[in-house]
Amino acid sequence: MQPPPVVGQPVRSPVLLLGQAPGDKEPKLQRPFAWTAGKTLFKWFSGIGLNEEEVRERVYMAAVCRCFPGKKPRGGDRVPSPQEIRQCRRWLERECELLAPQLLIPVGKLAIAQFIECHRLSEVIGQQHRVECFGRETDCIPLPHPSGASTWHRTEPGKTLLAHALALIEHHPAWTSLQEAAGSGGMSV
């Protein structure tokens, strides 16, 4: 793993957005989802009521691994190893203890697999799951990775399942509380 670690703003939120690990641009920009995948992700969220700035101000963002894992020899980012995931797990565990999120949004298969057995995205995307999050039950609505390299969210059944997942997020009480806070100019959690 290549430091520095990348973390979101320290915001008390009922929603925890969980990515896989930062890409190579995020350490320089010092914020999660700061590049191509982030543009797509924030476009999705804008469609359900919160723009990028509002999401960054109101949603706690974390990652399974906090540092850039490096590139694969043949291109693309390397997937963190099980040992690297275990080494970073204490950060996520403590964040979940402190925040007690009402809604967990894991993004991409690696993040989803931390809470739900995931052989195929089509088996878990588009549904709300009740999961155990470090000793506390919470709602979990997984999203596919918004990577430009992935076509899953742009082809069927991914396109339809993504729309279902976003609708579930939009109507979840934790998300609607963020929308109400955005409308009033403050945070009400």
Name 116's bridge partners: none
- The domain that holds 132 is classified in CATH as 3.40.470.10
Answer yes or no: is 45 within a domain: yes
Report which of residues 22 and 150 the model is more confident about.
Answer: 22
What is the pTM (predicted TM-score) of this model?
Answer: 0.93
Residue 185 clears pLDDT 70, i.e. is over it: no
Residue 34's contacts (CB-CB under 8 Å, 6 or more residues apart) are 25, 26
Q: Examine the pLDDT at 92 and tell me if it is beyond 70.
A: yes
Within-domain flag for 189: no
Confidence band for 187, pLDDT divided at 50, 70 and 90? low
Classify residue 80 by its DSSP letter: P
Distance (Å, whole) CA 21 – CA 189: 27
First to last CA, the chain: 34
Q: 82 lies in a domain?
A: yes
% of residues, the chain, pLDDT over 70: 97
Domain annotation covers residue 2 = no
Q: Is 7 within the bounds of a domain?
A: no
The gap from C-alpha 189 to its chain's centroid, in whole angstroms, comes to: 19
Taking residues 116-141, what's their average pLDDT? 96
**Structure confidence at residue 184 (pLDDT):** 64
Domain count, the chain: 1
Mean pLDDT, the chain, integer: 93
Range 34-62 average pLDDT? 96
Q: Note whether residue 9 is domain-resident.
A: no
pLDDT per residue over 149-183, tens digit each?
888 999 999 999 999 999 999 999 999 999 987 77
The single-letter code of the amino acid at 50 is: L
Phi and psi at 71, nearest 5°, equal: -90, 150
Reduced to 3 states, what is the DSSP secondary structure of residue 129? strand
Question: Could you tell me if residue 126 is inside a domain?
Answer: yes
| H or E segment and range at residue 76 | none
Whole domain around residue 156: which residue ranges?
A: 15-181
In a domain, 21, yes or no: yes
Give the per-residue pLDDT at 186: 56
d(CA 6, CA 4): 6
